Amino acid sequence: MAVTDPFSKPRALRRRMLPLLALAVLALAAAGCGPAADAASAIDQALVRIEQVSARFSGIPASVKDVVKAATADGASNTADAEAMLEKAVRSSFDADVASAEILEALERVGGETVDAEAFARAADAFEDARAKVAHIYETQDRTAAKDIEAHLADAEYGQRIRELTERMAAPDLAVETAFTAQLMYRAVEAFSGAGTAALASAPEVKRKADTQEAIASLRSSNENEKPVPKQVARLDEQARLSLILAALPSEDLSVLSDFYQSAGGKAKRQALVDSYTQLANQANTKMLQDYFSALADHLKTHPRPQQQ
């Protein structure tokens, strides 16, 4: 089954289709008629939990305020109006439920031996517990618990296993996608009061879509003057965060994760997850900007710029 564009359909239709899509995923898994199919499905479910697929997509709307705050601090004007339009465009474009279902479909098409499904599910549970533990350490400034994590990171063998695993996991690549979306939002806020905004917003829809695609491609390939967060900084921050979580894991769960991400099947599933996530993020980014500039065009009809009067 080919991955379709979930953002090309009206939102109400997508909502009605979502339960059917979820049932289809379950039906396809059941069609395997055996423990192997059930094990593969359990591994896929655990993998999207570990890599926080749903949380990343659903967290995009909440990041609008931080992006607008950064743009305002850098001198952007009329940001209140821009924020309202941008938040609406983001919420209509990033659907975590649809994204998770699409990614599970992509993972299901990937075969290959990985690890024991039950052990991997337990490791996923332990990973989520470790994530919560690290968050608690920061909140409470628990130095005793922090020293245990620091000891694991400082240990030559244990620390090396952790560093290798942070390189193999999908999370750093997904963090780059989140940073890239924030950069697009930052540019959209800046553009609200830009000199060429009126011309862009009032351009024919076909040209506006082409300009949007060109802007996305140009910004993705750029590594200069990246705001609010450079993509490479986002990657390194995510690896640092992962290091703390992995250092808080029991040794047996760390071994299971290492075995999975080193296996041929695990590598294939990891790449399928990143590819599918990136495709969905690109679709969402495109829709977000198109909706935003469409709303801006409507805004300018009732709030023309001084040079238009």
Give the pLDDT confidence of 93-152 residue by residue, as tens digits. 999 999 999 999 999 999 878 899 999 999 999 999 999 999 999 999 999 989 999 999
- Cα–Cα distance list, 274 to 51, 52, 169, 269 (Å): 10, 12, 10, 9
Cα–Cα distance measured from residue 244 to residue 240, given in angstroms and rounded to the nearest whole number:
7
pLDDT confidence of residue 34: 56
Classify residue 81 as exposed, middle or buried by CB count within 10 Å of its CB (0-12, 13-18, 19+): middle
pLDDT at 309 over 60: no
Residue 13: pLDDT band (50, 70, 90) is very low
Q: What global pTM score does this model have? A: 0.85
Residue 12, pLDDT > 50, answer no
Closest CA to 169 of 61, 281, 249: 249
pLDDT in tens, 250-295: 999 999 999 999 999 999 999 999 999 999 999 999 999 999 988 9
What single DSSP character describes residue 263?
S
3 state SS of 248:
coil
Does residue 18 surpass a pLDDT of 70? no
DSSP track, 88-145:
HHHHHH--HHHHHHHHHHHHHT-------HHHHHHHHHHHHHHHHHHHHHHHHT-HHH
List pLDDT tens digits, range 34-88: 566 788 899 999 999 999 999 999 999 999 999 999 999 999 988 999 999 999 9
DSSP state of 51: T
Handedness of CA 143, 145, 150, 151 (dihedral sign): positive
